[in-house]
Chains A and B, each alone.
Chain A
């Protein structure tokens, strides 16, 4: 919405898709290849480990995301105090009793941060999944079927592209309950067009490839062609799109919560910022209340972004870091 426009950072996929099919990231793990014959969870686990350690960026991204996920899953088990409990130590700086100090109401900031991780992550991922689901379906169908259906779906995409998120949010909040689900729906509805566009373009170029013609000549039904022939080749784009979307929706949801549209009873990073802003945290010098949630959002987002760039590098060898042989007399990256 008022956040920066969803600039598609993963251009590698769109570019390389035009000239050569992107290495299907899901290749080894999807059914079709002969590796279906490999038995057991061990093989799958080994495969995933192999993918993760393939690339430094993927590793660091995975580490960060993994860390936050662990905190989200297990953190609340270690927090024994109620994050919403008011104490008498108001606006106290970090100390051994309160690791990140307390806020205006004497609530422990650290506890809130940890508890908030769970809801922020959960909603961000969920919204990301919804958005990808919608954009994938519409993008694939639109790109493949073409004709009137394509025109209609493109129209739909353009319309939703243009609907501003904020007024929609205001209305939605007044119409429905003031819950996180409402925000999620608003954010989902306003964010799916981007991915749909990218996927449509990609599907269009895939459609004219020979393997599709072969499948159709063999009599495969449309639905099968879309989901079992074309889609596996676009898995890496969809994965990248999912990650980018998750970052965007994380920021969008946090943004709306910051404006006060969220459920104030829910502890989340965005709501913490809302509280901090309304409590004039900064002007009272209580940086410990205001800074940590923002930093967490940025860090988690960075982790996701690193994952994305790592996937980009795996899919397009040209983007991989250049290891320079030591004896190189000519120094430029391009001779």
Chain B
């Protein structure tokens, strides 16, 4: 317990440090933020000085304040759950924008990552069990190749062949834009249909890593004495593979998986660019380039918290999965 609290403390510290860095990072980019904001605001109509002042206070304080003061005010706002107002999508608050876009990211990506992990690990288990067979050899070579493919390249090839040439799947947008959003069947079906190609690409490009890790881990585990004993006990192959071998072999992958989930929140920017998919990755880039600090900070914060949170979850999970870690390892 004490150990967990200590880890939690360190993680919180890490969050704070990362938040600080991410606060200062966009602001280091050259350019006058006030002017940029002003320009954007004026696109929506004339702006009175009063509005401008009010806005400045809204989204992070007077930009003429010294940076340190801005930082403190920012922290203060954070603790009150106020992420500020976006200048790009004025007058929507950062919270709203994130909320709107993140569902796409989350659903598509978490499902893809989960699918990739589960499928990859299962295939890895199978490959290790049937080691040396033709299937194993072929798959191993294939995976080695897939492991090194550049994602956007694969995505574009998929778009070209499956979408453009063969017209099997749509390759742009998250859904058919002529439909209304909402919980209706048409929309959901359309969303699912549009998700196929991006999901497929993500899975194909990430599955190799899981497969190979699991295969290696499984091969090592299969030579352990407890697997031999499990066989000696006359247990079914299924029980031996899963409860004895895979259960132990999967431990190295768990860390990687949790971290992968954490990065999901950051949004697969490349996915969004190539497939024109709605999500927060693209918003993030826009925000930074347009000096929309509030939005940028908001998204970055989310990314950081999600990753650190997942790391923490991994620690917990590991403790549950592997009783050996529960004992304090005296270094």
**Contact between A and B in the complex (any CB pair below 8 Å):** yes
> Chain A: residues with CB nearer than 8 A to chain B?
1-12, 14-16, 146, 151, 154-155, 158-159, 161-164, 166-168, 170-171, 174-175, 204, 207-208, 247, 250-251, 254-255, 258-259, 273, 277, 282-283, 287, 290-291, 293-294, 297-302, 304-306, 309, 312, 316, 318-319, 321-322, 324, 333-335
**Pair B144/A302 contact, Cβ less than 8 Å:** yes
B150 CB contact (under 8 Å) in A161, A162, A297 = A297
Minimal beta-carbon separation of B261 from chain A (angstroms): 9
Minimal beta-carbon separation of A310 from chain B (angstroms): 11
A7 CB contact (under 8 Å) in B31, B157, B209 = B209
Minimal beta-carbon separation of B309 from chain A (angstroms): 10
Minimal beta-carbon separation of B172 from chain A (angstroms): 12
Minimal beta-carbon separation of A293 from chain B (angstroms): 8
> Chain B: residues with CB nearer than 8 A to chain A?
10-11, 13-15, 17-18, 21-22, 25-26, 28-31, 129-132, 144-154, 156-157, 159-160, 164, 205-206, 209-210, 212-213, 216-217, 219-220, 222-223, 227-228, 231, 252-253, 256, 259-260, 263, 266-271, 273, 281, 284-285, 288-289, 296, 300, 303-304, 307-308, 311, 329, 331
A23–B10 CA distance with the chains assembled, in angstroms: 35
Kindly name the residue among B212, B267, B271 whose own CB sees the greatest number of chain A CB atoms within 10 A.
Answer: B212
**Pair B289/A170 contact, Cβ less than 8 Å:** yes
Q: Which single residue of chain A is at the shortest CB-CB distance from B263?
A: A5
A255–B26 CA distance with the chains assembled, in angstroms: 21
**Pair A318/B21 contact, Cβ less than 8 Å:** no
**Pair B129/A283 contact, Cβ less than 8 Å:** no
Q: Which single residue of chain A is at the shortest CB-CB distance from B273?
A: A259
**Pair A300/B148 contact, Cβ less than 8 Å:** yes
Chain A positions within 8 Å of B308 at CB level:
158, 162
Kindly name the residue among A162, A254, A305, A318 whose own CB sees the greatest number of chain B CB atoms within 10 A.
Answer: A162
Minimal beta-carbon separation of B51 from chain A (angstroms): 28
Chain B positions within 8 Å of A293 at CB level:
153
Q: Which single residue of chain A is at the shortest CB-CB distance from B230?
A: A334
**Pair A298/B148 contact, Cβ less than 8 Å:** yes
Chain B positions within 8 Å of A273 at CB level:
150, 152-153
Chain A positions within 8 Å of B281 at CB level:
2, 166
Minimal beta-carbon separation of A138 from chain B (angstroms): 15
**Pair A12/B18 contact, Cβ less than 8 Å:** no
A305–B164 CA distance with the chains assembled, in angstroms: 32
**Pair B252/A15 contact, Cβ less than 8 Å:** yes
Minimal beta-carbon separation of A7 from chain B (angstroms): 4
A319–B220 CA distance with the chains assembled, in angstroms: 7
A171–B27 CA distance with the chains assembled, in angstroms: 9
**Pair A291/B288 contact, Cβ less than 8 Å:** no
A287–B156 CA distance with the chains assembled, in angstroms: 11
A11–B129 CA distance with the chains assembled, in angstroms: 18
